[in-house]
Amino acid sequence: MTNLQTRNDGSQEGPTPPSSRYENRLHAFLGDQHCAGVSPTDTSFFSCRDLGSAFLATVTDEALGAVTSPESSGARFRGALFGLALDCSQFRRDLIVDLSQVKYLNSESAFTLDDVNGFLTEKGRKLILTGVKGQPADKLALSQQAIGVSGKLITLADSPEAALLLAEEGR
């Protein structure tokens, strides 16, 4: 069966390519936030550098705390991370998220990271977390609570340098 899409003028185009659950979620979220006036390119919650084979995003406690904020800052953080994931898939980069400055990883931010991981995995990219090992046990345990919910485990590295080596592996 062919998947046809009806245009406004009544004509049909198709077939439409299948899209993933994660891509639909990310695009839907970014679309909703765009309508609400939230920019998906707002990186005020973390610093980001292009390392060639990967983007390195260093996250702070304020950033992850904002995820559970009832204000728009939580939406802006998620939008920025989702926007960065879309950039990674477009520019063929892995995403390294450095959590070494974060004291506590809340469940909402862990699930956000899991969604981003599922999306990147389907695009043939990797999400690599650094700064989680050697941290308080509750941070690691809570991160593992959400990591792998999608069935796609998130790679952990000891440092941003080690994460970059993992990103370059097999490229």
C-alpha span between 70 and 109 (Å, rounded)? 14
Q: Classify residue 63: in a domain, yes or no.
A: yes
Q: Classify residue 91: in a domain, yes or no.
A: yes
Q: Left (φ > 0), alpha (ψ -120 to 50) or beta: where does 151 sit?
A: left
Longest CA–CA separation in the chain, Å = 59
Q: Classify residue 28: in a domain, yes or no.
A: yes
Can you give the pLDDT at residue 81? Answer: 82
Q: Classify residue 162: in a domain, yes or no.
A: yes
Can you give the pLDDT at residue 96? Answer: 92
Provide φ and ψ at 59, rounded to 5°.
-105, 145
Can you give the pLDDT at residue 59? Answer: 82
Angle at 166 between CA 161 and CA 168, to 5 degrees: 95
Q: Classify residue 122: in a domain, yes or no.
A: yes
Provide φ and ψ at 60, rounded to 5°.
-110, 165
* CATH (domain of 137): 3.30.750.24
Q: Classify residue 97: in a domain, yes or no.
A: yes
Q: Classify residue 11: in a domain, yes or no.
A: no
Statement: the pTM of the whole predicted model exceeds 0.85: no
Q: Classify residue 3: in a domain, yes or no.
A: no
Domain residues for the domain of 108 are 20-168
Tens-digit pLDDT string for the chain (171 aa): 333 333 444 444 443 343 455 555 555 555 444 433 334 445 556 778 888 889 898 887 777 666 666 555 666 677 778 888 888 888 899 999 888 887 766 667 777 788 888 888 888 998 998 887 655 554 555 555 555 555 567 788 888 888 889 888 856
Counted residue by residue, the chain has a size of 171
Q: How many domains does the chain have?
A: 1
C-alpha span between 160 and 97 (Å, rounded)? 8
